[in-house]
Structure 1
């Protein structure tokens, strides 16, 4: 047992020797354990949340949601602009794009937005907490919880070892998707008077599917060419894109293609008139 622990510690130390020294002293970046702990606690809280709420009345969080969604719009827009300005509109290639580990202003700028994107994944865990506090338990689906729960720790490794290059293509797209998503949530939280501006709800899932399809193609093409980018991250990003394409496609099928019972159609009709019952 002692030898196994010693071997694990040795493997961990060897792995950390490959980390980017530029990010070593940044907040939450010294070790992965705080990120692991927060993700585990997220799953525990979501599991226990409905029981903790019990017979309590749902919290009224309209003002909190408005402020939160507005801040997330700004944060998502910032990340999208920074990913574009520090890389994807500043000479990055859609083919092989290695990480620039130098201390040039552009390379450091890219590393910083990668870190900010990583931090944003922790903030987004509040989405699910708000669902629980408002007793919108159906909104905390497997797709939602799984997606939110693995992103923070996944991105810790991204920032620690590859803060830039090829892997930031999907974060560029994701930042734009989240900008649109939180804009939708903000308008929905304003009340029934704004429902006429939410006609594009269905297309949000279509954009998500397009995102994951694009990332899958982007990852796959790199498997057929030489590129100075860690192959493990290529496989991880590609697998992530495929898994979530399948999950979002299943959601789209159930929500927009699969015929609904007549009673559910009537209920949904009332929901539209009363202001998107299932929306934030």
Structure 2
């Protein structure tokens, strides 16, 4: 009996994927084969399905210390990635209009590839957001937006690291890392308790910041689709479609939360506004 894993690893499609992949990153953890990330994705869906049922008759788990460490830890990781994206791009004199991938083993090209991998891995870590919701019985936060974004980001950046670890994809990682510094700082402060509430008046602007991010990515990617730039159009097409889908979803969230229900007290959560 041939297992599903064997079929994936020995298929013609998998051979093609390996042929087209970035030889520098091809053997890195969670990159060489799609099997590990697909397994993580399936486990993620299983947790979403089973978790709330297991917690139904249990008390919410007290996670305050864990959330404080987690959120501020993500602030540090995001700040590190923002610095690495910025420094690597600056040293290589990256162009904001058109930047092909440097597939060489030069120190700076490898530095950019490594931070792309860390960014990808951070998206795997951020699946923990969902687990925390379930353990705290915050099932209302398990929205389509939350699950869609968390689940798809891991695949997007698996492909990014495997095929285009660098080049103009750096801009997405750079902007998103900066946004996550602000976002996880908010959640870290919020996790400290009610005493911090008066300092968190800017929660509404987190969604605006997210939308600004998507509009920048959409404009940048649209330009590159029509420009004579040595960067895969297939990647640009996927990024463009994905960023537009997030603009639609986040705009809908913003409209319902802040325009329709202006008088309601709605606290955005990572499940609602988090872009990993």
Instruction: Assess, with a 3 A threshold, how the Cα gap between structure 1 residues 186 and 259 changes in structure 2: closer, same or farther.
Output: closer
Question: RMSD between aligned alpha carbons?
Answer: 2.0
The aligned counterpart of 1:220 is 222
Per-residue CA deviations over 1:39-82 (Å, capped at 9, x if unaligned) read 12101211221111121000010001001111111001111111
Structure 2 CA distance, aligned partners of 1:140 and 1:179?
22
SS of structure 2 residue aligned to 1:23: coil
SS of structure 2 residue aligned to 1:22: coil
Unaligned runs of 5+ in 2: 1-6, 272-276
Matched, 1:160 2:157: no
Greater Rg over alpha carbons, structure: 1
Shift of 1:279: 8.2
Q: TM-score, normalised by structure 2?
A: 0.91
Structure 1 CA distance, aligned partners of 2:222 and 2:51?
39
SS of structure 2 residue aligned to 1:99: coil
Instruction: Assess, with a 3 A threshold, how the Cα gap between structure 1 residues 197 and 90 changes in structure 2: closer, same or farther.
Output: farther
Per-residue CA deviations over 1:213-262 (Å, capped at 9, x if unaligned) read 000000000122111111110001111110001100000000000146x7
The aligned counterpart of 1:20 is 22
Query: May I ask how many residue pairs the two structures share in their alignment?
Result: 264
Instruction: Assess, with a 3 A threshold, how the Cα gap between structure 1 residues 278 and 177 changes in structure 2: closer, same or farther.
Output: closer
SS of structure 2 residue aligned to 1:17: helix
> Following superposition of structure 1 onto structure 2, how do residues 41-52 of structure 1 map, counting pairs within 5 Å?
41-52=43-54
> Do 1:69 and 1:185's aligned partners in 2 also have CA atoms closer than 8 Å?
yes
Structure 2 CA distance, aligned partners of 1:194 and 1:99?
44
> Following superposition of structure 1 onto structure 2, how do residues 196-275 of structure 1 map, counting pairs within 5 Å?
196-259=198-261, 265=264, 268=265
Displacement over 4 Å in runs of 4+: 276-280
Unaligned runs of 5+ in 1: none
Structure 2 CA distance, aligned partners of 1:124 and 1:53?
21
Shift of 1:10: 2.0
Q: TM-score, normalised by structure 1?
A: 0.89
Matched, 1:125 2:127: yes
Structure 1 CA distance, aligned partners of 2:36 and 2:183?
28
> Do 2:62 and 2:136's aligned partners in 1 also have CA atoms closer than 8 Å?
yes
The aligned counterpart of 1:151 is 153
Structure 2 CA distance, aligned partners of 1:144 and 1:277?
12
Structure 2 CA distance, aligned partners of 1:150 and 1:84?
25
The aligned counterpart of 1:80 is 82
